[in-house]
Structure 1
Amino acid sequence: MTGGHFDLLIRGGDLADGTGAPLLPKDVGIAAGLVTILPAGATATARRVHDATRQVVAPGFIDAHTHSDQTNLNGLGEAQAHAAVLQGVTVEICGNCGDSAFPGHYRDLAAFARAHAASGRANHLVSLVGHGTLRGSVVGHANRAATAQELAQMCRLLDEALTAGAAGLSSGLIYTPGSYADTAEVTALAAVAARHRKPYVTHLRDEMSHVDAALDEAVRIARDSGAALHVSHHKTAGTYAWGGTLRTLPHLERLRAQGLDVTCDVYPYTAGSTALAAMLPPWAHDGGPQSLLARLRDPAARAGMRAAIAEGVPGWENTVGNGGWDRISVAGAGRQPWLQGRTIAQIAAERDAEAIDVVAELLLAEDGDVTIISHSMREDDVQRVLSAPFSMIGSDGVPKPGLPHPRWAGTFARVLGHYTRDLALFSLPEAVRKMTQASAARFGLTGRGVLRDGAPADLVVFDPATVADRATFADPLLSPVGIRLVVVDGTVVVEEGTVTAARPGRVLAC
């Protein structure tokens, strides 16, 4: 039986097609950017043959949650730009947590796509539209309700972006200015997404001691708007919420059984990462970044921030109050790199200073641009979310200078190596499904996420016996081992851990 002639023939591997079906020995041919699954016994020729003996051939991984909107555009360097594709990620979903590059830094999705085309990408990018970006563009950074006219303008901008191919609406309701919005505002915007049959993707208003109420709010928004609901990086963080997944996951299961289209993503670590400024109460941000810096210079305002963290503020996720400054370490401080990797509590003790004063001086010295690592979760909660049949894998990667969270370079290899092979938390086909078909279906990536005849040739070949993450908090950009080949739209972009010169990636429309 003749199988044809191909640009690339991957021979002798086991196919994990993305559906969760058992592995099958199959040869895979690629020609003109499309996949052919060869029948047993077929012979084929090719310009290039990859021997995949004892290797797994899978759809390219789809990172369901990144903050890599401008990674190729902001001069961070090759290690940051290629951390995802070196793990086998062929599509990154950006624009999460209410923060997208448009309409703001870029006028619209088309301008965003042109910038990436000019820069060149190894893999593809898909973007959500951020509620916080919409609000910042229309209302600004004031702590007030949007007027009817402003909300109508936000809805119009969202409709235009979704029509152009953005994948859905995202919110980050712990972050200003998005946190200044009430439920009704977000529901009105989610209804626009629903009309486009695109999801409402939310970083809950609280993932800590009030996670149940925050999840209820998200469910109300989904039900009242008609939008599918996707919960970003689901967790129950902070000492008062540890074990909370024993409540939240069964609740989501019941909602699904009742017919609500709800899913979530998760990263395989017990630490998160965000901006240091997010540790401060919402009122401190009223008016925008420069207003925050002005308040940080004011001793009375600092005292108010200290009291807010100690006593709490209604409706605010108080990360430090739920854990402590000893769980917050500096990840990125460009002008003071010697502080990176150290906790706020350590720095305060060495200076014999109040933690809030250390935070204020650090933010002032860096013009507000400081990232942190927050060690806020428990391993049993992480494993429960990973195991949920409706969860998918997202790195929540925040490519920033300094010592960024290792999840940007390690997430997908860590799931395959540590959680799948070593801990047997789920089967390898199920792990691949969580990284491929599940995310493709959630974000409308038609034709991707499954290896079948005629599919776009995004795929990864890895060694299941050796694949592992190497990135650590001390060395966060170390690439994984065991990723043998990564192909994007039929072009090899990674071979044996090295990124090739090919740049076939683009911004995809959904």
Structure 2
Amino acid sequence: MVAPGFIDAHTHSDTAAIDAVDAVDGAEGRLDTAQVFASVVQGVTTEIAGNCGHSVFPGRYSGLAALGRVHSAIGRVNHLASLIGHGTVRAAVVGYSARAASASEITRMAAVVDEALAAGAVGFSTGLIYTPGSYADTAEVTALARVAARHGKPYVTHLRDEMAGVEGALEEAIAIARNSGAALHVSHHKTAGKFAWGRTEVTLARLAGLRDAGMDVTCDVYPYTAGSTGLGAMLPPWAHDGGPARLLARLREAGQRDLLRKAIAEGVPGWENTVGNGGWDRIVVAGAPRHAGYQGRTIADLAGAAGVDALDLVAELLLAEDGDVTIISHSMREDDVRRVLAAPFAMIGSDGVPKPGLPHPRWAGSFARVLGHYAREEGLFGLPEAVRKMTGAPAARFGLTDRGVLRDGAHADLVVFDAARISDRATFAEPLLPPTGVRLVVVGGAVVVRDGTVLRDRVATGAGPGRVLAC
């Protein structure tokens, strides 16, 4: 089959290629080429980054153009487009304090968002479970989403709660879209945790009803029952007040640990509380460079083996790793995942987080898994619909003109795959195994993958066909 190059609607791969080039061989936590190329060997020719309220500009890079220059210099294997992240903007203007933004600060944030969207960012994203974005109220987010609406670009949100409070969080997102005038795109839609299982029947019906009434609403989804994020996100928002250094300082104090234990056990109003909705036995360490032996094991198992309380183990691990620990959370149910995948307004986004260790297999397996397992084997939808969800649908959502289609004059981003053989091989134990059945991947007219192998000479420094796209 010949298809348009796949477009990953949701990644966190903003600087993966840069980090792999910049790191010294053998350095602790260095990304290797298997992680950098895991996306393109599935046929992904464009990645949408800057999701969940976190973009690398303003901050590490001054803007999209600066990011593009660096990527062009190193030689990208595929294209990258980026949203502008609310959390990053808030950190730059307001800082990491747990407080409301002033009117003047909201005006300054709006100016930053406006500049980024004018320069080609493809939308405005929030991650309302992550600090400092979670410190914002609905009015602040609405004011910034109005800027996206003026540019005709979507409001893309990781909801404030995807667990017990998912319905209320979805209503907040709907209100933000309505009152701002922006199109709404719900990131990695799910109903996670034992108190929310089955609620996709309600949330999807709500989204479908809005679409029937004329509202521009879409979502993305990855084809797994586990999510992935930072270990610090398992702690309540107040623990992060003041930024990463203040979090680590709190973790050193026995009294603060007791308060954290209590918050997880009893909950905090407005907080998602992943562990309270599931348990430490569902949280697996994915990436901890200085504790490789912890990777692939649950927090509950590690704490039991060490004879310590789970919260104390988490605190010591975060302190030893300077706060940089990724986890996998087994929090969803298969029927909910299937329901979202089948929704006609859902597109495919891996939510890939290319980090060292044992990352979630979704980074290397999502697209092949949809085509092989869910379309061919399970018959959840036909092959044309599966391809639409990973090509034309995300291209339309993010304004990627002449991508996601096969026609004369369109961009020459293509994938050739064997529909009878394409399958994901990535597992939680071996998360970077490439798929089978991908024959050819073409980016910008250049063949970059042949029979599952990246042609390294085609992506040499400064010569790669991939670009940072401005839309």
* CA displacement at 1:497 relative to structure 2: 0.7
State the alpha-carbon separation in 2 of the partners of residues 422 and 235 from structure 1: 23
Partner of residue 126, structure 1: 81
State the alpha-carbon separation in 2 of the partners of residues 463 and 495 from structure 1: 13
State the alpha-carbon separation in 1 of the partners of residues 216 and 288 from structure 2: 40
Q: Secondary structure at the match of 1:381?
A: helix
Query: Does 2:32 align with 1:87?
Result: no
Q: Which has the higher helix share?
A: 2
Q: How does 1:99-498 map to 2 (within 5 A)?
A: 99-498=54-453
1:67 aligned residue (12, 19, 22): 12
Give CA-to-partner distance per residue, 1:370-395, whole Å, 9 cap, x none. 00000000000000000000000000
Query: Does 2:444 align with 1:507?
Result: no
* CA displacement at 1:116 relative to structure 2: 0.6
Q: Secondary structure at the match of 2:262?
A: helix
Q: Secondary structure at the match of 2:339?
A: helix
Q: Secondary structure at the match of 1:72?
A: helix
State the alpha-carbon separation in 1 of the partners of residues 64 and 277 from structure 2: 38
State the alpha-carbon separation in 2 of the partners of residues 108 and 253 from structure 1: 36
Query: Does 2:13 align with 1:58?
Result: no
State the alpha-carbon separation in 2 of the partners of residues 146 and 120 from structure 1: 39
What amino acid sits opposite 1:480 in the alignment?
Answer: P
Give CA-to-partner distance per residue, 1:456-490, whole Å, 9 cap, x none. 11010000111001101011011111000000111
Computing the radius of gyration from Cα coordinates, the structure with the larger value is 1
State the alpha-carbon separation in 2 of the partners of residues 190 and 440 from structure 1: 20
What amino acid sits opposite 1:139 in the alignment?
Answer: V
State the alpha-carbon separation in 1 of the partners of residues 214 and 177 from structure 2: 12
Q: Report the RMSD for the aligned CA atoms in angstroms.
A: 0.5
State the alpha-carbon separation in 2 of the partners of residues 399 and 245 from structure 1: 28
Q: Secondary structure at the match of 1:58?
A: strand
Q: Secondary structure at the match of 1:221?
A: helix
What's the TM-score, normalizing by structure 2? 0.96
* CA displacement at 1:305 relative to structure 2: 0.5
What amino acid sits opposite 2:12 in the alignment?
Answer: H
Q: Secondary structure at the match of 1:468?
A: coil
* CA displacement at 1:222 relative to structure 2: 0.0
Give CA-to-partner distance per residue, 1:140-177, whole Å, 9 cap, x none. 10001111111111100110110000000000000000
* CA displacement at 1:80 relative to structure 2: 1.1
* CA displacement at 1:77 relative to structure 2: 2.0
* CA displacement at 1:344 relative to structure 2: 0.3
Aligned residues: 455
What amino acid sits opposite 1:165 in the alignment?
Answer: G
Range moving further from structure 2, 494-503 or 308-317: 494-503
State the alpha-carbon separation in 2 of the partners of residues 472 and 202 from structure 1: 28
Range moving further from structure 2, 496-505 or 334-343: 496-505
State the alpha-carbon separation in 1 of the partners of residues 437 and 449 from structure 2: 12
Partner of residue 3, structure 1: none
* CA displacement at 1:353 relative to structure 2: 1.0
What amino acid sits opposite 1:180 in the alignment?
Answer: Y
Identity of aligned residues (%): 72
Give CA-to-partner distance per residue, 1:376-415, whole Å, 9 cap, x none. 0000000000000000000000000000000000000000
Q: Secondary structure at the match of 2:17?
A: coil
Q: Secondary structure at the match of 1:224?
A: helix
Partner of residue 8, structure 1: none
Q: Secondary structure at the match of 2:16?
A: coil
Q: Secondary structure at the match of 2:300?
A: helix
Q: Secondary structure at the match of 2:394?
A: helix
Partner of residue 20, structure 1: none
Give CA-to-partner distance per residue, 1:437-458, whole Å, 9 cap, x none. 0000000001111101211110
Partner of residue 28, structure 2: none
Give CA-to-partner distance per residue, 1:101-138, whole Å, 9 cap, x none. 00111011111111111111110000000000000011
Partner of residue 27, structure 2: none
What amino acid sits opposite 2:4 in the alignment?
Answer: P
State the alpha-carbon separation in 2 of the partners of residues 222 and 408 from structure 1: 29
1:77 aligned residue (21, 26, 32): 32
1:97 aligned residue (15, 34, 52): 52
State the alpha-carbon separation in 2 of the partners of residues 280 and 179 from structure 1: 13
Structure 2: gaps of 5 or more residues: 21-30, 459-463
Runs of 4+ in 1 over 2 A off after TM superposition: none
* CA displacement at 1:259 relative to structure 2: 1.2
Q: Secondary structure at the match of 2:247?
A: helix
